[in-house]
Structure 1
Amino acid sequence: MTPDLFQEIVEKLTPHLKKETTFMREPLEVGLKLAAILRFLVTGNSYPSPQYSFRVEASTICKFLPEVCKAIIEVFKEVLSCPKTQEEWKEVAEMFSSRWNYHNCLGALDGKHVPMKKPSKVGSLYYYYKGFHSIVLIAVADAGYKF
């Protein structure tokens, strides 16, 4: 991601994520939150990974992760849309066929377990067999890397 694109995303997310300064603390910058969350989602590491890179406690990252993800969805919902007509889906399949030689493909799918604190009264619903609670984040991209 180029610095200009990152700054453009920060500007669009700022109205949704900006916090007020209180007498107890200065709020974290929107750019810092976005960078930490993008790094967390891209690398697939645990919360301590961005904690050390961005000097933000893992517990704080846990708190603003859903907030940043919701803001991204809200701000970019027009960009993050699926084809709606049969012709649009055929264009996607043709792009995969011509660019990647994957015929009749409509998307590249991948997922990641996002660690989280256990919600109350859910039993083992969110328990991952590797020893922590998580929710699965799944993404589909087209042949041009667009989600």
Structure 2
Amino acid sequence: MNKSSPPETVTLRVDVWLWAARFFKTRSLAKQAIDGGRIDVNDAGCKPARTLHSGDRLKISRGEERMEVEVLALSDRRGPASAAQLLYRETESSRVAREAARELHRLIGASGPPKRPDKQARRDLRRLKHDR
């Protein structure tokens, strides 16, 4: 009699998947982000060894950038960026919020702190002060 074993569900550690999907350069950086509470799986905190399944939702914070992604596939190998992008799909609300934050940052950066006057501007300032 031929026994058929139940199909194995494919699972993977969260830190390995974050590294393979190119969210972090090393597994150690992914682990630090998870330990620091910057990664949530299905709206709950996690540990680096938590198993990840296809269909899970992750909230990822890297610096000022916030992303919400859905896991489409699991991979424990880090490949090219084009292959890594096939592992997840960013939610539409996350994409819109990220683009709005990028635009806001661009606008604020354009009106940044004033620069020091150069040589010509210093001469003009001196002339203005001494002519009065």
Q: How does the TM-score come out when normalised to structure 1?
A: 0.23
User: Could you say which structure has the larger radius of gyration?
Assistant: 2
Q: Name the structure where helix makes up a greater proportion of residues.
A: 1
Q: Name the structure where strand makes up a greater proportion of residues.
A: 2
